[in-house]
Amino acid sequence: MTPESGLSRPEPAAVAPVTWRDPLRPAPGELANSTRLATWLCLLGIPVGVLWWLVAPRRAYRVSAEGAFAVVAESEAAVGSDGWLLLMLTVVGILGGAFAWWRVRPRGPYVPVGLAVGMFGCGLLAWFVGSLLGSGPSAADLAEVGAVVLGPLGLGAGGVLIMGPFVAVAGYAIGVCFARRDDLG
């Protein structure tokens, strides 16, 4: 086995080196995937805001010579509009968390951060779009005495915006709890 004997030393078999990865360092592509996920979830706020504007109840006012007065003194329209936005953000959050678990690879610590940021942006954008579309009656609408006009669409409970990120991350965490492998697959 020496060069003098004429026999060459056999080469070792090619074995892939085992690399140790820091668990806090993202896997290649994880940060880009999480950013893409957050962007898409945030952009879902536009159709959610339009849908909220279409289905949310708003308080009705009757225009008189002295001004606009509520048709019904005690209206649950304000709470109802908050409830509709809460329901929509919850559904989008559940679907976003499930999508992130089943489709986003590689999984790691940045995926739930992307979910939370994207869903919070979705809620803010939905609130903005819905409030912009349902801005209330114009001056021309208020000039006609006897007309019934709808009040502005708004968000009374700011905590509604937290439900989307909470549900999205919770749905993703449930998937993590039932992962077959420790590296989250």
pLDDT digits (tens, 9 = 90+) for 120-154: 999 999 999 999 999 888 888 778 888 888 888 99
- What pLDDT, on the 0 to 100 scale, is given for residue 151? 85
- What pLDDT, on the 0 to 100 scale, is given for residue 121? 98
- What pLDDT, on the 0 to 100 scale, is given for residue 5? 65
**Whole-angstrom distance, CA of residue 7 vs CA of residue 159:** 78
Partnered with residue 63 across adjacent β-strands are 68
Q: Indicate the pTM of the whole model.
A: 0.80
- What pLDDT, on the 0 to 100 scale, is given for residue 88? 98
Q: Which residues of the chain have pLDDT under 70?
A: 1-6, 10, 12-24, 73-74, 182-185
Hey, what are 4's tokens? 């003098």
Closest CA to 61 of 52, 71, 47: 71
- What pLDDT, on the 0 to 100 scale, is given for residue 68? 73
- What pLDDT, on the 0 to 100 scale, is given for residue 163? 96
Gap between the terminal Cα atoms of the chain: 45
Is the Cβ–Cβ distance between 165 and 116 less than 8 Å? yes
Distance of CA 53 to the CA centre of its chain: 18
Helices and strands in the chain, H and E counts: 6, 3
- What pLDDT, on the 0 to 100 scale, is given for residue 18? 54
